[in-house]
Amino acid sequence: MRKKIVIGNWKMNLNLNSAKELTSRIIELHKTNTVDVGICPPSIYIQAISSLTKGTKILFGAQNMFYENEGAFTGEISPQMLKDFPVDMILIGHSERREVFKETDEYVNKKIKAALSLDLLPVVCVGESLKIREEGKAEEWVKSQVIKALDGLENSQVEKLIVAYEPIWAIGTGKVCEAEDANKIISMIRETIKAKTNDSASKKVRILYGGSIKSSNFFDIVKYENIDGGLVGGASLKADEFLKIVEAAEKAQSVTLK
């Protein structure tokens, strides 16, 4: 059985003190091993925050990196640099990177390969815009993003991935995707992965939902067997609320629906 995971994406929020306080509170409140919990602070706080999560149950993630390990890439952070800290995972292809910073599917694929080559766990984000959803092309769009992300990967690499389905219209808007609908798309993602690899690899990949997750709506989503957790933005900035979301995943771990 896959272990559910809840990951907080702090985006470009907090300052050094509030980031340290939030981290300490999450470490203090997260007691069980039933589900995995991760946090992704802003890059400039990697050193400070990873020194707090080191040796705890909390997984540490970075929000971004480039795919080359060194060179003339002003302002970028390399996978190799992340390895100087205890960084466990890396967000790749978040819609804000794709939309605001024009990152392409090709970039996403290169970043996944760079991360895997250094044993960083890629959390690969996919999801459709409102326009694409309204045109009835959401499944087609997400399927194509998944296929391009997996291009050239061995089955043994694919099975290590975490994929996050984040419909863009649900991110930061308060409009959460209907649970059944999220389950349908996430099941389609698993089928797509199975077609590209095999049954065993597709069963190992953890596939999360993201977009306006709150403690009040999350159990309804994460109760599905196919939905392995959540990528949480706004609600991950308050320790108590974030831990309630983690509790919903813990409850769901034992009561999963087909």
Active site residues: 94, 166
Of the residues 171, 188, 227, 239, which one makes contact with ligand PGA according to CB under 6 A: 171
Kindly indicate which of the ranges 29-37, 69-77, 220-228, 231-239 contains the residues binding ligand PGA, using the contact rule CB under 6 A: 231-239
Three-class SS state of 138: helix
Alpha-helical segments (H) within the chain? 16-29, 46-53, 79-82, 95-100, 105-117, 130-134, 138-150, 155-158, 179-196, 199-204, 215-222, 239-254
Paired strand residues for 5: 36, 229
Q: Which range in 27-35, 66-74, 204-212, 247-255 contacts ligand PGA by CB under 6 A?
A: 204-212
Buried/exposed 162-176: b ≥16 CB within 10 Å, e otherwise = bbbbbbbbbbeeeeb
Using CB under 6 A, which of 9, 23, 145, 192 touches ligand PGA? 9
Give the residue from 181, 155, 151, 157 showing the smallest Cα distance to 167.
181
How many residues bind ligand PGA (CB under 6 A)? The answer is 13
State the Cα angle at 130 between 216 and 190, rounded to 5°.
70
Give CA–CA dist 30/35, Å, rounded: 10
Nearer to ligand PGA, 79 or 167 (CB): 167
Between CA 120 and CA 139 the distance in angstroms is 28
Q: Does 40 bind ligand PGA (CB under 6 A)?
A: no
> Are residues 35 and 229 in contact, defined by beta-carbon separation less than 8 angstroms?
yes
**Which residue bears the tokens 């480039």?**
66
Residue choice 112, 138, 213, 245 for contact with ligand PGA (CB under 6 A) = 213
Q: Which is nearer to ligand PGA, 201 or 208 (CB)?
A: 208
Under rule CB under 6 A, residue 215 binds ligand PGA: no
Question: Taking CB under 6 A as the rule, does residue 208 contact ligand PGA?
Answer: no
Binding ligand PGA (rule: CB under 6 A), the pick from 88, 103, 128, 166 is 166
Q: Candidates 38, 42, 229, 233: give the one binding ligand PGA (CB under 6 A).
A: 233
Query: Which of 211, 218, 247, 249 touches ligand PGA by CB under 6 A?
Result: 211
Look at the block and give the residue holding tokens 């895997």.
116
Written as six digits, the tokens of 256 are 């999963």
Report the length, in residues, of the chain.
Answer: 258
* Token pair recorded at residue 239: 């320790």
Question: In this structure, what DSSP letter does residue 141 have?
Answer: H
Min separation Cβ 8 and ligand PGA, Å: 9
Smallest gap from Cβ 150 to ligand PGA, in A, equals 21
Q: Which stretch binds ligand PGA (CB under 6 A): 23-31, 115-123, 209-217, 242-250?
A: 209-217
249 is a contact residue toward ligand PGA (CB under 6 A): no
Q: Site for ligand PGA (CB under 6 A): which residue of 232, 239, 245, 246? A: 232
Binding site for ligand PGA (CB under 6 A): 9, 166, 171-172, 210-213, 231-235
